[in-house]
Amino acid sequence: MHYTRLGTTGLTVSRICLGMMSYGNTSERAWHLDEAAAEPLLRRAIEGGVTFFDTADVYDDGVSEELTGRMLRRLFRDREAYVLATKVYFPMGPSPNDRGLSRKHIMAAVDASLRRLGTDYVDLYQIHRWDYGTPIEETMEALHDVVRAGKARYLGASAMYAWQFAKAQQIAREAGWTRFVSMQNHYNLVYREEEREMLPLCADQGVGVIPYSPLARGLLAGGRERGGARYTVRAGDDPLADEMYEDADFDVVDAVRALAAERGVPPARIALAWLLGNPTVSAPVVGATKAAHLEDALAAIDIDLSAAERRRLESPYRPHRVLGHT
């Protein structure tokens, strides 16, 4: 495993972040893993040097946080040995105040997350989306108070426009509040719109980038094919992927497959190596429901792509409408 600082902070994270969204009630999604099935994967990730774990309160209505907390407590003796991240924003109950980024919801949500996780603090507390109904000043002050209370060590953001991120950072800076140190955005070889504004902003401001969906919901790993063919349980039960990606994206997939064949490695390793080779990227958030998914992620760290190989992978790209901000 290789390690890096998260942006310009002093926080060290593994170059692979294990996403915990896939772990929860099997009745919720056919591709979810229960605790008994998930723990061997988590154990293997830890053996491979992974120390960075990401979840969210909304994942399976809090069940993911509960499983994540229990497993990490069993597998790590020292709370300081790993970096734990969670998120707030999406509805967690029927009340209009059970959602969003108001002070009321943030204060209630962080306490609820800590109870489910079984810990006194999270290392990274992230806003899951931008809240158009709450003044960003209210949100940033509430998040600052969460940090001051010792319930979070750092703050992160996810999936928004660059102007929104810049506005939030500037408001926090002017008020002397805690700023975001990371951006968890939708970024992979078939969706590169983040390169227009968000990635340059993060690079300039020293913000760590931890992309979600690094394999495009399995598209880059061979989970689906042109014309709608699906080869995995996840691909067969993932309506969002149908909305986000199109047949034209398989031109990029073909380039990944061709290079993978030349290298003699699975396509997923090439797609992840491309992300890891971007100096702005700190750690892709990788989901794993099979041992092979973890092995691909761990092996990708040691694959160095040449400039010519990166151009081959990038050249078939076509622009997309903005995806993932809502």
For residue range 41-79, list pLDDT tens digits in order: 999 999 999 999 999 999 999 999 999 999 999 999 999
**Residue 223: predicted pLDDT:** 75
Confidence band of 326 (pLDDT split at 50, 70, 90) = confident
pLDDT tens for residues 139-149?
A: 999 999 999 99
> In the chain, pLDDT over 90 holds for what percent of residues?
87
Compute the distance between CA of residue 314 and CA of residue 255 in angstroms, rounded to an integer: 8
Compute the distance between CA of residue 123 and CA of residue 125 in angstroms, rounded to an integer: 7
**Residue 234: predicted pLDDT:** 54
Count of alpha carbons within 13 Å of 194, Cβ hemisphere only? 30
Confidence band of 237 (pLDDT split at 50, 70, 90) = low
Domain positions in the chain are 3-314
Among the residue ranges 158-162, 220-224, 264-268, 307-311, the one predicted with the least confidence is 220-224
**Residue 94: predicted pLDDT:** 95
Residue type, 94: P
**Residue 246: predicted pLDDT:** 83
Q: State which fold the 3-314 domain adopts.
A: TIM Barrel (3.20.20)
> In the chain, pLDDT over 70 holds for what percent of residues?
95
**Residue 233: predicted pLDDT:** 55
Mean pLDDT of the chain: 94
Q: What is the mean pLDDT of residues 94-108?
A: 97
**Residue 211: predicted pLDDT:** 98
**Residue 27: predicted pLDDT:** 76
Confidence band of 4 (pLDDT split at 50, 70, 90) = very high
Confidence band of 230 (pLDDT split at 50, 70, 90) = low
- Collect all residues with Cβ–Cβ distance below 8 Å to 61 and sequence separation of at least 6: 92
Residues with catalytic annotation? 59
